[in-house]
Amino acid sequence: MPDLIRYRHDGKHRHSGLRAGIHAGVRCQWIPACAGMTSVAPPRPSLAHLPSLATPVLYDGIELKNLPLLCHRSAYGVIAITGERVDDYLQGQITQDLRRLTSDRLLYAALLTPQGKAVCDLWLAADGARRLLIVPACALEAACARLRRFSLGYTLTIAADPELTLWSLQGAGSRRMAQALPLAWPLEESDDDGCWLLAKAQPAIDATVVDEAVIEAARIAYGTPRFGIDWCDFPLNANLIERDGISFDKGCFVGQEVASRMRWRGGIRKTLCHCRLAHLPDRLPANICTTAPVGKLTSAALDGDGTPYGIGQLPIETVKANSRLTLEDGSAVTLLPHKGETS
């Protein structure tokens, strides 16, 4: 259950914020893995060439009562698709089965190239006959272009919707509060009780508005990976199966041959991992090592108790071997169960 804090940036300005833990009076810190990744950029980002980090943002916790926290998620954009047979078209484009789409839930999936690499991941929503795709802003233009590429023979309008913006409502009471809103769906981004909302303006609800960096820190502590920061290439190496983002029974979709070959012929070599750290690294990405570097830590943050957490990608063989993991300075990296696992 998240608490509210006030945060200080460069020791000068104070605003409302979120800390991921349940105890007060502690510091929360977020290290952004790639500055500027929220801007629209058609080329797919490469984790191997992430820029150096800016000065970390420090959060000084003070005790306030627990309330749902509302945040504008500028890191995401919205694509609207309308027209005849829109579901038939999308069924052959995204990795998840459109028959599972309902008005009261988001359908998580990915959009692939014919070579099986990710254009982006996405959350699909039904708004009457219109289909709304929530996609990372860094891949918005590329996703639009990719969706239009194979639409010959369909009468569809596929375009970014600049009027709709994404809001994240996280924390105790979020789902109950969102029930009266027209475009709201349960989604646990940084808390067990959470929703995503689409609106043309800030939703008129009794929630405390927090800075986007706060939710970024909380999603890292919670263990939610983000495309363009924590992964960007083959989605099966980024836990798309574990996150229920792909169906191998739905029929053909673009990139299916490569995804199926990876699934059934042992081609899944890496996995995203949620981990507890001994301390935050000075820079991201940071090497995760056994006797030599084997993976990358791509996100890191302190939770509300001051415990450092991270998200990184490792070889599956290293995870299965239960090898001792460290950062390059020798500090310990402890792997945590995926959501839904007990050990």
The domain that holds 264 is classified in CATH as 2.40.30.160
Does a structural domain hold residue 229? no
Give the domain CATH number at 102.
Answer: 3.30.70.1400
Give dist(CA 337, CA 298) in Å, integer. Answer: 18
Give dist(CA 213, CA 31) in Å, integer. Answer: 9
Are residues 331 and 239 located together in one domain of the fold? yes
pLDDT at residue 19 greater than cutoff 80: no
Higher pLDDT pick, 57 / 275:
275
Are residues 28 and 160 located together in one domain of the fold? no
Does a structural domain hold residue 273? yes
pLDDT at residue 1 greater than cutoff 50: no
Which of 121, 53, 57, 44 is closest to 285 using CA atoms?
53
Does a structural domain hold residue 212? yes
Are residues 96 and 145 located together in one domain of the fold? yes
Are residues 64 and 173 located together in one domain of the fold? yes
Does a structural domain hold residue 343? no
Are residues 62 and 95 located together in one domain of the fold? no
Mean pLDDT of the 18-29 span: 32
Which of 44, 45, 21 is closest to 33 using CA atoms?
45
Beta bridge partners of 9: 13
**In Å, how far are 22, 52, 141, 145 from 44, measured between CA atoms?**
37, 18, 10, 13
User: Under a CB-based contact definition with an 8 Å cutoff, are residues 4 and 17 in contact?
Assistant: yes
Does a structural domain hold residue 183? yes
Tens digit of pLDDT for each residue in 286-297?
A: 999 999 999 999
Give dist(CA 281, CA 52) in Å, integer. Answer: 12
Give dist(CA 185, CA 123) in Å, integer. Answer: 10
Are residues 177 and 63 located together in one domain of the fold? yes
pLDDT at residue 38 greater than cutoff 90: no
Phi, psi for 127 (deg, rounded to 5): -125, 85
Are residues 243 and 322 located together in one domain of the fold? yes
Provide the domain count of the chain.
Answer: 3
In the three-class reduction of DSSP (H, G, I as helix; E, B as strand; rest coil), residue 181 is classed as: coil
Are residues 248 and 303 located together in one domain of the fold? yes
Q: What proportion of the chain, given as a percentage, has pLDDT over 90?
A: 67
Which of 22, 8, 46, 32 is closest to 301 using CA atoms?
32
- Boundary (domain end) residue, out of 147, 165, 183: 165
pLDDT of 339 reads 64
Phi, psi for 83 (deg, rounded to 5): 135, 175
Q: Could you tell me the pLDDT band of residue 193, with boundaries at 50, 70 and 90?
A: confident
- Boundary (domain end) residue, out of 165, 184, 214: 165
pLDDT at residue 175 greater than cutoff 80: yes
Q: Which domain holds residue 116?
A: 76-165
Does a structural domain hold residue 16? yes
Are residues 160 and 173 located together in one domain of the fold? no
Does a structural domain hold residue 121? yes
Q: Could you tell me the pLDDT band of residue 186, with boundaries at 50, 70 and 90?
A: very high
Q: Could you tell me the pLDDT band of residue 270, with boundaries at 50, 70 and 90?
A: very high
Are residues 43 and 175 located together in one domain of the fold? yes
Are residues 138 and 271 located together in one domain of the fold? no
Are residues 47 and 186 located together in one domain of the fold? yes
pLDDT at residue 211 greater than cutoff 50: yes
Does a structural domain hold residue 341? no
pLDDT at residue 46 greater than cutoff 70: no
